[in-house]
Amino acid sequence: MGRITLDKVTKSFGETQVIPPLDLTIEDGEFTVFVGPSGCGKSTLLRLIAGLEDITSGQIRIDGNDATNVPPAKRGLAMVFQSYALYPHMSVRKNIAFPLRMAKLDKAAQDAKIEAAAAALNLTDYLDRKPGQLSGGQRQRVAIGRAIVREPSAFLFDEPLSNLDAALRVGMRMEISELHKKLATTMVYVTHDQVEAMTMADKIVVLRAGHIEQVGSPLELYKAPRNLFVAGFIGSPKMNLIDGPEAAKHDAHTIGVRPEHIAVSASEGIWSGKVGVTEHLGSDTFLHVHGTGLGEMITVRAGGEVDFKYGDTIYLTPRADVIHRFGTDGLRIA
Amino acid sequence: MATKASRSAARLMMAPAVILLLGWMLVPLTMTLWFSFRKYLPLRGGDLGWAGFDNYTRFVTSSAFWPSVMATLTVVGGVLIITVCLGVLLAILLDQPMWGQGVVRILVIAPFFVMPTVSALVWKNMFMDPTNGLFAHLFKFFGAEPIAWLSQASMPSIIMIVSWQWLPFATLILLTAIQSLDSEQLEASEIDGAPPLKRFWFIILPHLGRAITVVILIQTIFLLSIFAEIFVTTGGAFGTKTLTYLIFQRVLESQNIGLGSAGGVYAIILANIVAIFLMRIVGKNLDN
């Protein structure tokens, strides 16, 4: 079981309030991702749940029990840190055994759990090495191994993939998702990378300056961002936000059109402009279109085969059914 | 320094320093070896020719020899234990955020800047004096009989004085080591269920291993040759005659340079034995 409830939780460091009153429920077995730009309070929020920071006011409940003043070790949570926080002087085996040793489990039971965790994470061959002799991905797996042997009611991940290179990150993303499916344990995952959030989450919590901007499944956030911030943050490349007379045509202060919802043509369309930089990814082409009169630049995602060169004139047509409309307050107009 | 030319240029430029240091070491060493085989009594006829191994056998068969070796090892060992243990505790204390941290740190380091002679005299006259010393007053305040520190508890007194001088050094090195500990490791162990004492034992102490090694190595080298503290306090009496002090007595008080030089060679051998042992025990700590 691992249902985590935050009830009017606040956190202040001295005078500055980093987390204003915040309510959130993380359901049992859910993969929840906290996402937001750096400094938005997402790591602080995770540390509050872990108990590494005291909350200033409010209440944290784990499985319905008040955990506000429970020390971290007694909350039944396991945490994977950004730096992995492996103990450098201990072998992989000792690292994974550490929480079991602290729980005074007998040696045979310890070994059984370590072997099982090592087998699940492909670490069996590395059990007697020191962390310093492992690659980044292996260290990451040791950190996860140390977390799973405790059989926690929830896992907390603090930007665990940010120290890995791009290829490894994709692999580890899959492994963590796989692990979540297998264990069906609550996972809370902090990242600044919206791609990680979109690909892994059951539920995304978008944070800005300690405020929850929106909570929802990845597709909910993609299809119906609640405000301009979420609209700009979720989706890659970023949504084009256009205001002025073009937005007024749609009875909105600002309209948002995703790059993938714009059709391109060399001869006709609603908007026209000059092609700037084009990024060919093979499967897709990202075109940066200037001089449309709609703002500084419009990003368009077109098929891999389009053939526009720098300075070509291009015509753009947004898909009418997926234009997002926002009012003067930045909130979505239904 | 990749190319051949730059390598040889580097050698050339290092040469003056290397030659100077080598000479600095070799000249006194050769002279000590030379004198140790001579019968050389400056006030009783000067250089009286070869003595063979006479000086060497006389030095070790003297009744003062083994006690002086033991005294040396006791001082070194005692000071090492005290400075490392208290140094670790002080480093942890100073690592805590507190008001006036900067001033406190400077105060802690201050004793290291006091000259050995001065600090030993301060201890002797202001703290350990049996009638006017602070300790005497403290003892009297509690109704106890003041003890004459330097004669009744001479060895502990010397160890206390030298420890006081070297504690700042140990603290300083251990403090910088403790500051380099990744706080996420401590947090991870906290979540893993380790209470503060176990966090100290399993995380902080192993992290300090290398720094403790450095402290032990450097301190041993300097502690083997302490002299001023003994000279101005007990003058080598009451069982505080270390090997260094014994050599000094042989050369200056007995005016026997040959005998003293032989003692010097023994001191070199002892220092090397200690160094080899330390390197063995401690060298493992330094790699990885």
| Domain span at A112 | 4-230
Q: Say whether residue A91 is in contact with chain B using an 8 A CB cutoff.
A: no
Q: What is the pLDDT of residue B1?
A: 53
Annotate B211-237 with b (16+ C-beta within 10 A) or e (fewer): bbbbbbbebbeebbebeebbbbbbebe
Residue B129 in contact with residue B242, Cβ under 8 Å? no
Across the interface, whether the CB atoms of A83 and B193 are under 8 A apart is answered no
Among A230, A260, A289, identify where a domain stops: A230
Contacts of A77 in chain B (CB under 8 A): 191
Q: Are A251 and A189 in the same domain?
A: no
Rounded to the nearest angstrom, the minimum Cα separation between A98 and chain B is: 7
Instruction: Give this complex's ipTM.
Output: 0.81
Say what the pLDDT of residue A7 is. Answer: 87
Q: What's the mean pLDDT when you consider all of chain B?
A: 86
Whether the predicted model's global pTM rises above the 0.80 cut: no
| B287 pLDDT above the threshold of 70 | no
Q: Say what the pLDDT of residue A32 is.
A: 93
* A15 within a domain of the structure (yes/no): yes
**A256 and A193 part of one domain:** no
Q: Which fold has domain B65-240?
A: MetI-like fold (1.10.3720)
Residue B286's pLDDT is what? 63
A83 CB neighbours in chain B (<8 A) are 182, 184
**Nearest by CB to A79, which of B188, B198, B202?**
B188
Q: CA distances (Å), B115 to each of B2, B164, B172, B228, B239, in order? A: 45, 12, 18, 9, 24
Split into its structural domains, chain A has a count of 2
Q: Scanning every residue of chain B, which has its alpha carbon at the shortest distance from the alpha carbon of A156? A: B191
**A273 lies in a domain?**
yes
- Which chain B residues are closer than 8 Å to A72 by Cβ? 187, 190-191
Both A214 and A243 in one domain: the answer is no
User: Which residues in chain A are contacts of B192 at CB distance < 8 A?
Assistant: 73, 98-99, 102, 146, 150
Based on the fold, state whether residues A205 and A122 are members of the same structural domain.
yes
Minimum-distance CB partner of A77 among B191, B203, B206: B191
Q: Same domain for A181 and A254?
A: no
Please give the C-alpha separations between residue A123 and each of A97, A128, A294, B278, in angstroms, as whole numbers. 13, 10, 54, 36
* Residue A131 shares a structural domain with residue A17: yes
Q: Which of A13, A70, A86, A87 would best serve as a mutation to test chain B binding (most B beta carbons within 10 A)?
A: A87
Within a domain: A298: yes
Mean pLDDT in residue range B165-179: 91
Residue A296: its pLDDT value, please?
A: 78
Domain coordinates in residue numbering, chain B: 65-240
3-state SS, one letter per residue, for chain A: CCCEEEEEEEEEECCEEEEEEEEEEECCCCEEEEECCCCCCHHHHHHHHHCCCCCCEEEEEECCEECCCCCHHHHCEEEECCCCCCCCCCCHHHHHHHHHHHCCCCHHHHHHHHHHHHHHCCCHHHCCCCHHHCCHHHHHHHHHHHHHCCCCCEEEEECCCCCCCHHHHHHHHHHHHHHHHHHCCEEEEEECCHHHHHHHCCEEEEEECCEEEEEECHHHHHHCCCEHHHHHHCCCCCCEEEECHHHHCCCCCEEEECHHHEEEECCCCCEEEEEEEEEECCCEEEEEEECCCCCCCEEEEEECCCCCCCCCEEEEEECHHHCEEECCCCEECC
Q: Say how far apart CA B176 and CA B166 lie, in whole Å.
A: 16
Shared domain check, A277 and A222: no
Write out pLDDT tens, residues B222-239. 888 888 888 888 877 888
CA distance A32 to A197: 9
Q: Is residue A333 domain-resident? A: no
Interface test with B, best of A91, A101, A104 (most B CBs within 10 A): A101
A72 closest CA partner among A111, A114, A92, A102: A102
- Same domain? For A255 and A271 the reply is yes
What tokens does B226 get?
């302490």
| A226 and A242 share one domain | no
What tens-digit pLDDT sequence spans chain A (334 residues)?
688 888 888 888 888 888 888 889 999 999 999 998 888 888 889 999 998 888 888 889 988 888 888 888 888 899 999 888 899 889 999 999 999 988 888 888 888 989 888 888 888 888 899 998 888 888 988 999 999 898 889 999 998 888 888 888 888 889 899 989 988 899 999 999 888 899 999 999 999 988 899 999 999 999 999 999 999 889 888 999 988 888 888 888 899 999 999 998 888 888 888 998 999 888 899 999 988 877 778 999 988 888 888 888 999 999 888 899 998 888 888 7
CATH code assigned at A189: 3.40.50.300
Q: Which residue among B185, B192, B209 places its CB closest to the CB of A99?
A: B192
What pLDDT is recorded for position B254?
82
CB contact under 8 A, A89 and B185: no
pLDDT of residue B285: 66
Q: Which of A13, A48, A54, A79 best tests the B interface by mutation, with the highest count of B CBs <10 A?
A: A79
Residues of A in contact with B190 (CB under 8 A): 52, 71-73
Interchain CB contact of B286 with A (< 8 Å): no
Instruction: Please judge whether A87 and B182 are an interchain contact, meaning their C-beta atoms are less than 8 angstroms apart.
Output: no
Identity at B271, one-letter amino acid code: A
pLDDT at position A163, please? 83
B185, B187, B190, B196: CA torsion to nearest 10: 80
Q: Is the pLDDT of residue B288 over 60?
A: no
What is the average per-residue pLDDT within B174-199?
89
pLDDT at A218: 92
Q: Are residues A121 and A138 in the same domain?
A: yes
User: Last residue of a domain, which of A177, A200, A230?
Assistant: A230
Q: Cβ of A146 under 8 Å from any chain B Cβ?
A: yes
CB B61, CB B209: distance < 8 Å: no
